[in-house]
Every structure is written in structure tokens, then in C-alpha cells.
Amino acid sequence: MSDAIFYTPMALSKAVDEYAIKTRGIPGEKLMGMAGQKVYEAIAERRFLEDLSGPVWVLCGKGNNGGDGFVVATLLAKAGIAVRILQIPDPAQIAGDAAVYFEQARDVNIPMIPVSDSTWKNELGSAGMVVDGLLGTGITGRQLRPPYDEIIAQVNDLTVPVVAIDVPSGLSGDFGQVTEPCIHATLTVTMGYPKAGMLFSPAREILGELVVADIGFPPDSLEHVNFPLLQRLHATTIDSFYPFRSQNAHKYRVGKVAIIAGARGFSGAAILAAEAALRSGAGLVRLAVPAGIGPIAESLSRETIVTYTPETTAGGFSSAAESVLMDLAAWADVVAMGPGVGREDETVVLMQRLMAQVDKPLIVDADGLFALAQNPEVMRQRRGDTVLTPHAGEFYRLLKAVGIDADSQWQTARQFAEDWNCYVLLKGAASLVATPGGEVFINVTGNPGMATAGSGDVLTGTIAGLLAQKMMLPQMLNYAMYKHGAAGDVARRKRGELGMIAGDIIEALPQVLLP
């Protein structure tokens, strides 16, 4: 995948088309012809046409996607390839630019089998390759109606290359939703710009190889459409934020991190966050924990300075710890809070008070997010930058708390970040950062093996350690997200997805943080 900007498929795709055709005067027929040409070229480049076991079946729907399919079929036929077109619309229903290419396909005598002719059900099984031009980006809903459902189900049973035009038929929406069933492509050739939904699971698992085709949209297309854009993080830009040190650097100048974490039974969350901050380059890390687990924290991390704080009878942070924690925050460059602190009422109120009073950049994770959801208005009192790092469930709790009835999607993360003047790092497949200014950045590093206890605590420490060295948002937040995922990828190669634990991610951080 390229490092291009991503965008919402339904609304923005139409707007880009309209700008090219209506404002810049580019004929729609020319764009359609170029789209089909690019699909044909991608097929040929991958040598799918060599040693075909049967004819190429091109599935042509009612809209422009079907028109692209007619172009591909015609080019294949002219190259001497045996082609069959499965035709969804009645010829009388084919209009506009698609009608031009439908006639060209008829002129080269491509057999066209109407979907109303049930013979296709037996013949499709002999296909040597399938080109999917059934549905475009405008599909909505979760369930496909006939005949699309039956066609797609049969295609998915084949063991031949399947090439999707623009998007696999059944890809729905901007957050990777797919219908049931949905085309599972070997190759997807998308037009102009990658589509937002392609970045997220489960959609990205059904794309196959993704090719972004330049079909002649004006270079300034995105400057003339008023839609939010998504930016995919890429190594070439991310690595420019590496926090190089001067020759006279010392530990007090390369990042002081305060971490408020842990409770009885949850000392591991605190240690993981602290060690990740150190491995990310922080000069000093001071870890505040309830007094009962202080000796554990000291014994497990030789480099961390441990602060013992008053605790509740259950072993969590008590309200009496407030002054100690505020002094610690005053010392630090960056404060992280929440991993493993628990959900006792007294601790929840303390976390809320700290959020309101700490004026340093603050990273809130895990149980800190639970506390925030009980009283989101403390966010209005924040004087420093705020970074929230929820997974989908934690974010949904926050959304309910502020009266937003929506899924944990990138659009909602963007709205929340703008409304509450914070940065949201929404963890998932893929993770993203939404900024108070309305930007959304998508990360593509990481893997399913990172779905393990403590991985989020490592991310919190990684953010804190890196941000303390180079106080730039959202750049360092993006850098931390990307490198955390990259460390998970290194750990997977060493341990495998099933054997990976959070400590393996910390162990891999130095490798991925090499300049």
C-alpha cells in the first residue's frame, strides 16, 4: 500500500468524480476507460493470464463498476483471452458511459450471460479467473440481496485469482465493514485514492494485494472537496521524528516521566509501563504505586525510581496520595496514569482530581479511562495536552458518558477529539490517532499477537518516554504508535503470535527505535 492520503469512500469518491468531470471537464468516458485499462495492466503484470485453466469471467453490475468491467472484458478479448461476461442489468438499463463500453464488448463478440439465465451457476465453476465489477463504493447495509449473494458465495468457493475493481463487492462503509457474503479478492485495483475502509479489519483481510491506480484525476482534487482525510503513517515520514540527542545530553534533559499506576494484584501493569518508558529513551522514570506493592516494583525494575504512596485498605491509591502525586507531576515533563490502578470509588475520585489539576502533558489509559468516563467534565479543566488511549470498549464507554450514540469508529474518534480538545489513540486493527484539529492518522504496524495482557501498558509507557524527549504532538504520538506496533512485529517473528507476551514487545523496542 502507498503512503497516500485515504478518504471516505462513498461521499468523497463521488465528489472527486464530479470535480474531475464537471469542473475540470474530463469526460467520464475517459476516466472509465482508464480505470479498465489499469485493471487490465495490473492483471497482466501479475501473469494471471498465463496458463489459465478456463475462461476469464467478468462480473458486471449496474453502475460504473460494471462499466469498468466491460472495459476489462474488451481488452482481454482483444488480447486473445477467452472471456465471459455475467451481466446483471438488462441491456436497456445500461446507460451513460457504461453503455459505450457495453457496446464495445458486444462488438468483439464476448459471450454475455444474463444473470436471469441460470446456466451461469454451472458454468462459473470452470472459470480460470474472475474479475469483480459487481458493486462499487456506494453499497450500504450488512446483507446482500439476490442475485449478488449467490454469485459472491460461488466465487468465494473457487481457487482461482479474483480481481476486484475499485473495492471487493460487499465492502461497505468507511470503517472496514463487510456484508455477508463479500468477495475475497486476490488483487484489488482501486481508483485514484485508497478508500478509508480498506485500512481497517475485517476489510483489509479481504483485499488481497492492493494497487492504487492513477486514472487521471486532477492533482488538486482533494483540495476542492470538503471531507475529512485519513493519513496512513509511513516509515519514511515517521522516522524523521526520531529524538536525536546532543553530545552534552544528560538524564535530566532527555525526558522525565512520571507514571501513576498499579494496585494490589496489578503491579505488572505499572512495571510494564515504566520499563517501556525507559526502553523508549526517557532519561528518568519515577513510578508512583500504592505502598503495598512498592517493594515488588523496586525488585522488578532496577532503573525505575519508585515512589510509595498512601493506599486504601484494598491496596489501591487513596485520596491521601494526592499531594505526593501532584509533587511528582510538577517534577515531570510528561505524566501517564491509569494502568492497573483499579476502580475503587476513592481511587476513581483521586484520578479525576489529578486529571483536572495536572498541567503537564497527560496520558490516560485503562482504569484512568474508566475514572474519566464517570466524570468527563474534568476534561474541561485540563490546562495541558491530553492523550487518551482507549480500546474500542473503553472508547464506547466514554462515548456513552458524553452522550454520543455511535460506534467506536474513526469518524467518532475525530469528533470526540475535536469536541473535548484532546488526542485520541484508538487501539485496534488498525490503530489510529485523532487530533483536536480534526486530523486522523492510521497505523498499519502491529499484529494479532499483540492482543495480550499488558500490551496497552507498554504502549502507554512508550508514548510517555518518547513524548518526554520531544514535545511534539501529534508527531511523537504517531511515532510511538508506529514503533510500538513495529516492536510487536519483531516480537512475532521471534516468538510467534501465540507465544508473544507484552515483555517481548519491550524487548524489541530498542531494535525498532534504531535511527
Strands ordered across the beta sheet of 129-133: 112-114, 83-87, 56-60, 129-133, 162-165, 187-191, 209-213
Residue with cell string 463487510: 178
pLDDT at 256: 98
Residue with cell string 526502553: 279
Rounded Cα distance, 446 and 458, in Å: 13
The domain 5-227 having CATH identifier 3.40.50.10260: the answer here is: yes
Q: Which of 200, 281, 269 is nearest to 480 (CA)?
A: 281
What are the residue ranges of CATH 3.40.1190.20 in the chain?
236-242+254-512
Beta bridge partners of 362: 335, 386
361, three cell numbers: 502533558
Contact predicate 347/319, CB 8 Å: no
Contact predicate 331/258, CB 8 Å: yes
Q: Are strands 362-364 and 284-290 parallel, antiparallel or unpaired?
A: unpaired
Rounded Cα distance, 137 and 164, in Å: 12
pLDDT at 2: 45
Q: Which of 384, 412, 380 is nearest to 398 (CA)?
A: 412
81, three cell numbers: 483471452
The domain 236-242+254-512 having CATH identifier 3.40.1190.20: the answer here is: yes
Contact predicate 125/119, CB 8 Å: no
Rounded Cα distance, 446 and 233, in Å: 13
Strands ordered across the beta sheet of 440-442: 5-7, 229-232, 440-442, 432-434, 423-426, 386-388, 362-364, 334-337, 256-260, 284-290, 305-309
Q: Which pTM does this prediction carry?
A: 0.90
Q: Which of 492, 454, 449 is nearest to 271 (CA)?
A: 454
For the chain, 515 residues long, give each residue's pLDDT as a single digit of tens: 445 566 665 667 778 888 889 889 999 999 999 999 999 999 999 999 998 999 999 999 988 999 999 999 999 999 999 999 999 989 989 999 999 999 999 999 999 999 999 999 999 999 999 999 999 876 766 778 899 999 999 999 999 999 999 999 998 877 778 888 999 999 999 999 888 888 888 888 899 999 999 999 998 888 877 777 889 998 988 999 999 999 888 898 899 999 999 999 999 999 999 999 999 999 999 999 999 999 999 999 999 999 999 999 999 999 999 999 999 999 999 999 999 999 999 999 999 999 999 999 999 999 999 999 999 999 999 999 999 999 999 999 999 999 988 876 888 999 999 999 999 999 998 999 999 999 999 998 999 999 999 999 999 999 999 999 999 999 999 999 999 999 999 999 999 999 999 999 999 999 999 98
Going along 312-422, which residue ranges are E strands?
334-337, 362-364, 386-388
If one counts every other C-beta atom within 10 angstroms of the C-beta of residue 475, the result is 18
Beta bridge partners of 209: 187
Give the Å distances, CA to CA, from 70 to 42, 76, 128, 194, 477. 16, 10, 18, 22, 46
pLDDT at 1: 41
Contact predicate 75/83, CB 8 Å: no
What are the residue ranges of CATH 3.40.50.10260 in the chain?
5-227
Beta bridge partners of 335: 258, 362
